[in-house]
A and B are shown apart, each in its own frame.
Chain A
Amino acid sequence: MHSRLKLILTLMTLAATAGSFAQSESSQSADAREELKLAALEALITAPADRALPLVTRVLAGNNSDEVKSRALFILSQIDDPQAQTQLLDVARQSSGELREEAIRMIGIGGDPATLAQLTGLYTSGDAEVRDAVLEAYLIAGDSDAIFQIATAADNEEDFSAAVEMLAAMGANDELRMLREKVGLSESLIEAYAISGDIESLRALARDGSDPEQQENAIDGLMIAGDDEGLLQLYRATDDVELKRKLLEALSTTSSDTLLELIDEALADDQ
């Protein structure tokens, strides 16, 4: 009886195991292999550089999906070895499409100064996608000086605006002010002052009535920056009716009670 029970149990186990193997075979699908590759790459992030580098190199050279190669690029960016940086640059220079841009961004994440410096050449020779990726890489690396150099060298408004936007996003007020001295004022630069919250520059520009369009842009900038105090000071300081109207419009969009206070003041004066 005991041996019969054992036999039944054995057969049941064999059937179950065979089933699980069949399932395991089907789970060896492309998706499962892809997931395993991604997990294996992630595990390499803490592996010694000399161990991880050859494996990542093979992944990049092999017939793998962009997702797997992108993950490999990230691991490369984290490997503290000059060879890893060289490889990132090679992919950035020789690949195309999303992988090339990913390699450029990964150079930003890696933050190696020597490799970051090489991106300037890529920016100059690259298309719009490459130029955007290079700016992103510098943004990620916090390299505002490199973006400043790109902005000063820009030969068209589109590239200049893109660089200036990045500086604004970084809050690089010093570089944005230097740009004004170096290349002159523009609408995109005033917008950048607003985004970076450079109220001091905006207030100075808003007070300057020599260029009405520039003054209006500066008032818009103060509005974007939420500087109701600056708008109020200007309102009180000017006798220009048209300018007062613009300032009231700007104040009406801020969330503070400044406009109501002004109305109260006006009502009190009338009485």
Chain B
Amino acid sequence: MKSLLHLVFAALLFAACISSESHSSDLLRITGDGWYMWQVEGNDDLEIHALIESGQPTEFVLPGIQCGRRTPPDSADLGVIAADESIAWLQRYIAPRSAVSSEVMAAIAAHATDSAVDVLADVVRFGHDRHNREEALFWLANSDSDVAFEFIDRLLTGSD
């Protein structure tokens, strides 16, 4: 029964994966290499600049919240993007662990939404890379989210 449930869950995941894949290529209307920027809806401080090289993000600049405020690069403006959409695009680059995984998780955490917490919690729960899991925990612990701290509480009390 348990295996069957796993199988059903895996099928659902797979289906979600296929639908996400078909949508993700144009998720943010990123069409080629170079710098792109978008403003996250509902969060005036969160403007994300991403450098795309060979179709992959290799660098992020978050001018509103980054320490030592960098001058924003001259980026192609993607306009205002819904937080969930922005997070969905970013989360694809958390794993496998790469040079941008840390920046991606920081950017996700900066969204400060329940969806951001869910994504980071999933990294902790299901991630395979220790650094990713530890960094996701760091961002959860540094959020001001009740959901995040309830999640950490469950980890600590062994009920998750």
Contact = CB atoms under 8 A, between A and B. Distances in A.
Interface in A20-55: 21-22, 24, 33, 36-37, 39-48, 51-52, 54-55
A178 interface: no
Contacts of A62: 156-157
Contacts of B152: 40, 43-44, 55
B27 interface: no
Contacts of A46: 138, 141-142
B10 A39 contact: no
A17 interface: yes
Interface residues of A, number: 28
Interface string B121-160: 0001010000001100110111010000100110111100
Interface string B1-27: 001001101110110000000000000
B6 A21 contact: yes
Given A14-B7, A37-B156, A51 B149 contact: yes
Task: Decide if the interface of chain B is mainly helix, strand, loop or mixed.
Answer: helix
B6 A39 contact: no
A8 interface: no
Nearest to A59: B156
* Interface residue SS majority, chain A: helix
A58 interface: yes
Contacts of A52: 141
A44 B6 CA distance: 32
B7 A43 contact: no
B11 A47 contact: no
A10 interface: yes
B10 A47 contact: no
Nearest to B152: A40
A238 interface: no
Contacts of A47: 141-142, 149
B11 A58 contact: no
Contacts of A33: 158
B159 to A, nearest CB: 11
Nearest to A72: B156
A18 interface: yes
Contact of A39 (B11, B134, B142): B134
A13 interface: yes
A40 B153 CA distance: 9
Contacts of A14: 7, 10-11, 14
Q: Which are the 5 A-B pairs with shortest beta-carbon distances?
A: A17-B10, A43-B141, A43-B137, A47-B141, A40-B155
Interface of B: 3, 6-7, 9-11, 13-14, 124, 126, 133-134, 137-138, 140-142, 144, 149, 152-153, 155-158
Interface of A: 10, 13-14, 17-18, 21-22, 24, 33, 36-37, 39-48, 51-52, 54-55, 58-59, 62
